[in-house]
Amino acid sequence: MQSLRFISAEALVSHPPGAQQSLDAVAHNLYPLLFKASYLLEQSAVIRLLLERWPLEEFRLGPLLGPSADHAGDLRDRACRACLEACVHGLADHLLQGGGRQRLRVADLTGIRDVQVQRCPCGRALGRWGRTELLARTCCELQSQSCAARHPVEVLADVFITAGNFEVVARALGPVGPSPLRVRCLSLRADSLAPGQLLHVLCLAGPRELRRLEVVHNVRLHAGHVQQLLAQGGFPRLVSLTLPAKAFDAPPAGTPAPDSEEPLLASISQALSGMTQLTELHVAFSTLTGKLQTLLGPLRTPLRVLDVGNCALNHEDMTFLANCIHAAHLEVLDLSGHCLVDLFPATFHRLLGQAAPTLRALTLEECGLEDRHVGALSLALGTCRRLRELRFLGNPLSGRALRRLFAALCELPRLRCVEFPVPRDCYPEGSAYPQDELAMSKFDQQKYDAIAADLRAVLQRAGRDDIQVSTPLFGSFDPDIQETSNELGAFLLQAFKTALENFSRVLKQME
C-alpha cells in the first residue's frame, strides 16, 4: 500500500536531474519520504544528494527503510551496495560541503538485515564487513582533510572486524586528532584476530557502549583471555555475548593463571553477573562438563537465548538447567551434540516443560535421536505450544520415524519452520553417525525426494501448509561467513602451515 505522497516522491526521484533542481524547494519533513523512495528505486545519485543536504538533526537508516503510513513495504533486508555506498559518501559530502547549514548530529547506520537473496534491482549486497570497511575508510579520509563541519557527527554502527580490515577500523575507532565522524560501536563481531588485537579494538570501541559482542571462529581464546576481556570494561549495556569454541579451556602450560580452572570460571561468572542487561549467551563447543551451574548460577537476569551446543554437558548440568530461573524464560535454546533422550530423558522432558510458555526456537542437531526415541521426543515437544522453529539435522532417523514425528509436529499451532535430517534410509547400510561432510553428501537423492514428498503430504493432510520444511545439509545461510570466506580460508591455511612447521621443529628436536 502506497500513499499519494509516496507515489509523488517516486516520480520525483526517478528523474535525478529534476530531483537535484527541486530539492531546495522541498519541505524538510519530506526528506525521509524521498529517501525511502530513492532506496526502493535504487537511485544512488539522489540518495547521495539527500544525505549531502540532509536538513534534520538525525538520520536513522533502519526506521527510514521500515514500514510506514506512506509505504508499508519493509526495505531493511535490502543491503543494496549502490544505495549503502551512496549513504556513506553522501554523509561525507554533508561534512565536507555542509558548512553553515549543517544540522545533522546523529547518523544511525544500523538496522540492515543481511539475507541470502537480495531483492534490490542490482542484486549486489554490501555485507556487514563491507559496510564496516567503507565507513572506516571514509572516517580516515575525513580525518586527513580540511573539513567544513561545524560539529562532529556521531555515527552508530554494527562493526565486523577481521585481520583484513583491523588497521583501518582501529584508526577510525581511535582517531589521533579531531574527527568529523565519531563512530559509536553498538555491536561488534570479531573473527580471525589475535587475542591482543581483540582486546585493543574492544578498548577503542568502548565496552560501555556495546550491546552485542560476537567473538567467533578463528579468535583463539582460553579462559584466561575471557577473564581479561570481561574485566576490561564491565559491558553494562551488553545484551548478547558470543564466545568462540574452547573459550573456557584452561590456559596452556606456562601462562600465568590461577592454580586451577575453577577460580577462572568463577571470575568469569562474576563478571557476567554484573551485566544486568545480558539475556543472550552463546558458548557452543566449549567444554562445560559439570560447570554449568558455576557459569550461569550467579547471573541476575534470566536468559532468553542460550546456546550450549556440543558443550559435553552431564546429568548435573542438565538437572541445573531444567530447574534454574533461566528455564522458564528461554525463547531460543540450542542443545545440539548431546544424547538428550538417551541419557537425560526425564530431565530433558522437564526442561522443555519449564521452557514451554516462552520457547520459540529449539535446535537438537546431532543428538543421537533414533527411531526408538520418537515417542519420547514427541511427548516432550507436545508441551511447546509456542514453538515456531525446530532444527534436528544430523540425527539417524528413518523415513518412517520422521513421518511419525511430523504427525506429532502438526499439533504445534505456531510451528512454521522445520529443518530435518536426510533419512537414514537414504544412506548405505551401516553408515556411522555423526557424519563428516563427505559422508553426509553421499545419499540417494531419489529416495530422499520421495520421503520428503511423503513428509510434506503429512503436513498437507493435517492442514499445515504453513510449515516450511527443508534439509540444509551444511547448515543455514550465514551472511558473515559468506562475505569473508576467502579471508577465513587464507587464515586457516596459514594456521595449518604454522602447525606443520611447529610439528617439524619438534621432530627435529627429538632427533
pLDDT at residue 200 is higher than 60: yes
Which pLDDT score is estimated for 431?
A: 87
pLDDT at residue 152 is higher than 70: yes
- Where does 301-436 have alpha helices with state H? 315-323, 340-343, 345-355, 374-381, 399-409
Distance of CA 155 to the CA centre of its chain: 21
Length of the chain, please?
Answer: 511
Q: How confident is the model at residue 164 (pLDDT cuts 50, 70, 90)?
A: very high
Average pLDDT over every residue of 288-294: 96
Which pLDDT score is estimated for 501?
A: 60
Nearest to 214 by CA among 270, 280, 164: 280
Q: Which residue has the higher pLDDT, 437 or 36?
A: 36
Q: How confident is the model at residue 494 (pLDDT cuts 50, 70, 90)?
A: low
pLDDT-wise least confident of 120-124, 380-384, 490-494: 490-494
- Condensed to tens digits (0 to 9), the pLDDT of residues 253-285 reads 655 544 456 789 999 999 999 999 999 999 999
Q: How confident is the model at residue 343 (pLDDT cuts 50, 70, 90)?
A: very high
Average predicted confidence (pLDDT) for the chain? 91
- Condensed to tens digits (0 to 9), the pLDDT of residues 183-192 reads 999 999 999 9
**Cell 536513522 identifies what position?**
60
Which pLDDT score is estimated for 304?
A: 98
- Condensed to tens digits (0 to 9), the pLDDT of residues 306-327 reads 999 999 999 999 999 999 999 9
Q: How confident is the model at residue 102 (pLDDT cuts 50, 70, 90)?
A: confident
pTM here is 0.90
Which pLDDT score is estimated for 362?
A: 98
pLDDT at residue 150 is higher than 80: no
Which pLDDT score is estimated for 349?
A: 97
Which pLDDT score is estimated for 490?
A: 55
Average pLDDT over every residue of 371-393: 97
What is the dihedral sign for C-alpha 457, 459, 462, 466? negative
- Condensed to tens digits (0 to 9), the pLDDT of residues 202-250 reads 999 999 999 999 999 889 999 999 999 998 778 999 999 999 999 999 8
Nearest to 377 by CA among 399, 357, 395: 395
Cα–Cα distance measured from residue 390 to residue 382, given in angstroms and rounded to the nearest whole number: 13
Nearest to 278 by CA among 251, 247, 299: 299
Q: Which residue has the higher pLDDT, 260 or 432?
A: 432
pLDDT-wise least confident of 133-147, 192-206, 412-426: 133-147
Three-class SS of residue 384? coil
What is each CA distance from 420 to 21, 119, 337, in whole angstroms?
A: 57, 28, 15
Parallel, antiparallel or unpaired: strands 417-419 and 153-161:
unpaired
- Condensed to tens digits (0 to 9), the pLDDT of residues 454-485 reads 999 999 999 999 999 999 987 766 777 777 76
Please provide residue 107's backbone torsions phi and psi, each rounded to the nearest 5 degrees.
-120, 105
Average pLDDT over every residue of 60-79: 96
Q: How confident is the model at residue 352 (pLDDT cuts 50, 70, 90)?
A: very high
Which pLDDT score is estimated for 259?
A: 47
Cα–Cα distance measured from residue 398 to residue 426, given in angstroms and rounded to the nearest whole number: 9
pLDDT-wise least confident of 6-10, 23-27, 298-302, 360-364: 23-27
pLDDT at residue 100 is higher than 70: no
Whether the CB-CB separation of 291 and 265 falls below 8 Å is answered with: yes
HSE value, Cβ hemisphere, 13 Å, CA-based, for 305: 14
Q: How confident is the model at residue 394 (pLDDT cuts 50, 70, 90)?
A: very high
